[in-house]
Structure 1
Amino acid sequence: MSDSTARIVESVKALAALPGVGEKVDAAREACTQLRWHNALRRRIPEAAAESRVRGARASGELDGARLSVEIVRDLMRGAVTWHDDPDPVEQVMRGVIAATAETERLGPVVLNAPMQALARLHTAAAAGLVPDSELGRPRLDGEDCREFVEIGVAPPAAQARERLRGVVAVLAAASSLPVPVVAALAHAEIVTARPFTRGNGVVARAVERAVIQAGGLDPTGVAVPEMGHGTGGGPAYLGGLTAYARGDAAGVGLWLTHCCDAIVAGAAEGERIADAVLAGRLS
């Protein structure tokens, strides 16, 4: 392990040791372990994981203010219906959300072994049609701005955002030595607060979190729905956690980490409901 990697590992471990975080990490692990042993997941993981992505995409879109029914999202993801030729703003956002959430299925270990490649793929999926093609899959250049998440403050300059994205990549690459819920939470919050892309940062952040939770072995089935967990308390709770993180103090970072662990627990509970429906043959 290089000196720089060792420093990153120690820094993240120090955050994981903040008051109350360890207990929440353990609760997230227990919830995902319980989900993993559900009877439906012995033979029907692909079916349950596909439904998880449907519900995850719906919840992620809602956190960005785009609301579609789970039935419509399911039909769009399986190709039973198509997008309008002239999509309205909700459809424009949801097209990117669905594409990025679907891309998490194909990432596998890439998100930890080649994080920058994974981020580029997720951003290309999330922002296609929303930004010029020249802005897809790359961080902001000097002079390029981002107007997302203004509720938590002004986006940092592009150079600072790129530096923070390199930090995200370093944390993801060191994930094997760190608690997975903490790695996923930090990647999520850094992407949102640094806003390294001109658009689509929230969608990318939530997709990265989903991919890390699966690739890191916390939920290897991919059936948990962490995006729904983030929406449990509504948009204000989600933004409140991110605002607390953006302050940069121990209390704010700790609040965000515990929020993310709670989101994983709630997401695992939703995964159990999905598995129950699969077992009973009740998925539409």
Structure 2
Amino acid sequence: MTATVDAVRALADLPEVGESVDRAREACTELRWHNALRRRIPQAAAESRVRGARASAALDGAEVSVDVVRELVVGLTSWPEEPDPLERALRGAVQATAETEHARDLVLTSPAQALARLHVAVAGSSAGVDLPPDAVGRPRRDDEVCAELVEVGAPVPALELPARLGGLYELVACHDKAPVAVVAALAHAEIATMRPFVRGNAIVARGFERALVQAAGLDPTGVCVPEVGHLREASAGYVGALAAYATGSADGVRLWLTFCVGSYERGAREGMRIADAVLAGRLGGS
């Protein structure tokens, strides 16, 4: 554990990373004290999940308007009975982002359970990702292949997943001894690059990250929208930054950290827009 804490702290001291951490913390603190959040956190947090789900789906190629997502979430529009692949991706993103409300209560004490619950949300029987029931909520077996995020590189072999997942859980455990923004960014990248599941890994990674930044105190209100922060740089930027991390080089890790931690600052600004709309009584699309 000491080695993990020291390693995370060293990464936080890389050029540009520390400055990004400070800006993200300041932006999230400013959001926390917005006047709208004195009494109306649930409404603002619900809209954050809508916009987060929309952005997470868009990062997986399913582009729809935030108004469409909002109507699906509140039940004004029904999900199609026979969805196409993009509609399945959207549903998986919506269900996983909704599940972060529960995952945030588990992510610090039982990260393995939080990870499994998020995957069940993405890949359950009514969700977007079509998997056999016995493949839902558990890591890949040796005879199973993951064909996602091929631009990032090869996923971790199934036999190596227990050790990599153990490292992820150890990383989460140092959230109170190292900058939360760096811990969350590393957790996101670890899930997305190791790809523990057959499908649904990127959405799970973003859901795990959302739950972690809330539970560990960077965004206690749940109104920041880190997914929008990732999307604002476009999917090529997001995937490219993950590919840089996957190289394991110092420059590659630094590039990912500045990108991802910067997404928390951008996500906090989106949260401010949500809070402004709540305060003015004009909550609508982003």
Matches of 1:172 and 1:76 in 2, distance apart?
Answer: 33
Q: Which moved more, 1:51-60 or 1:175-184?
A: 175-184
Write the mapping of 1:196-235 to structure 2, written as runs, cut at 5 A: 196-235=196-235
Aligned to 1:261: 261
Aligned to 1:168: 168
**Does the CA contact (< 8 Å) of 1:145 and 1:157 recur in 2?**
no
- Residue 59 of structure 1, aligned match among 48, 55, 59: 55
**Does the CA contact (< 8 Å) of 2:103 and 2:208 recur in 1?**
no
What is the TM-score normalised by the length of structure 1?
0.96
- 1:226: Cα distance to partner? 0.3
Matches of 2:68 and 2:16 in 1, distance apart?
Answer: 39
Write the mapping of 1:118-267 to structure 2, written as runs, cut at 5 A: 118-129=114-125, 130-267=130-267
- 1:132: Cα distance to partner? 0.9
Matches of 1:93 and 1:74 in 2, distance apart?
Answer: 16
- Residue 25 of structure 1, aligned match among 10, 21, 24: 21
1:44 counterpart = 2:40: yes
Matches of 1:148 and 1:19 in 2, distance apart?
Answer: 31
Write the mapping of 1:83-122 to structure 2, written as runs, cut at 5 A: 83-122=79-118
Matches of 1:200 and 1:82 in 2, distance apart?
Answer: 22
SS in 1 for 2:90: helix
Matches of 1:14 and 1:280 in 2, distance apart?
Answer: 43
Aligned AA (1:204):
V
Aligned to 1:15: 11
Matches of 2:162 and 2:96 in 1, distance apart?
Answer: 21
- Residue 82 of structure 1, aligned match among 67, 78, 81: 78
Matches of 1:40 and 1:70 in 2, distance apart?
Answer: 21
Q: Structure 1 regions of 5+ residues with no counterpart? A: none
**Does the CA contact (< 8 Å) of 1:114 and 1:173 recur in 2?**
no
**Does the CA contact (< 8 Å) of 1:162 and 1:196 recur in 2?**
no
SS in 1 for 2:61: coil
Q: Give deviations 1:203-241, integer Å, cap 9, x for gaps.
A: 000011111111010110000100000011111110111
**Does the CA contact (< 8 Å) of 2:103 and 2:118 recur in 1?**
no
**Does the CA contact (< 8 Å) of 1:63 and 1:231 recur in 2?**
yes
**Does the CA contact (< 8 Å) of 1:229 and 1:263 recur in 2?**
yes
Matches of 2:15 and 2:241 in 1, distance apart?
Answer: 16
- What is the total number of aligned residue pairs between the two structures? 280
Matches of 2:237 and 2:247 in 1, distance apart?
Answer: 16
Matches of 1:191 and 1:108 in 2, distance apart?
Answer: 17
- 1:79: Cα distance to partner? 2.1
**Does the CA contact (< 8 Å) of 2:56 and 2:203 recur in 1?**
yes
Matches of 1:233 and 1:65 in 2, distance apart?
Answer: 14
Q: Give deviations 1:62-97, integer Å, cap 9, x for gaps.
A: 000011211111111122222111111111111111
Kindly report structure 1 stretches of 4+ aligned residues shifted beyond 3 Å: none
Identity of aligned residues (%): 59
What is the TM-score normalised by the length of structure 2?
0.95
Q: Which moved more, 1:139-148 or 1:14-23?
A: 14-23
Matches of 1:17 and 1:259 in 2, distance apart?
Answer: 15
Q: Structure 2 regions of 5+ residues with no counterpart? A: none
**Does the CA contact (< 8 Å) of 2:180 and 2:216 recur in 1?**
yes
- 1:161: Cα distance to partner? 3.0
Give the aligned CA root-mean-square deviation in angstroms.
Answer: 1.1
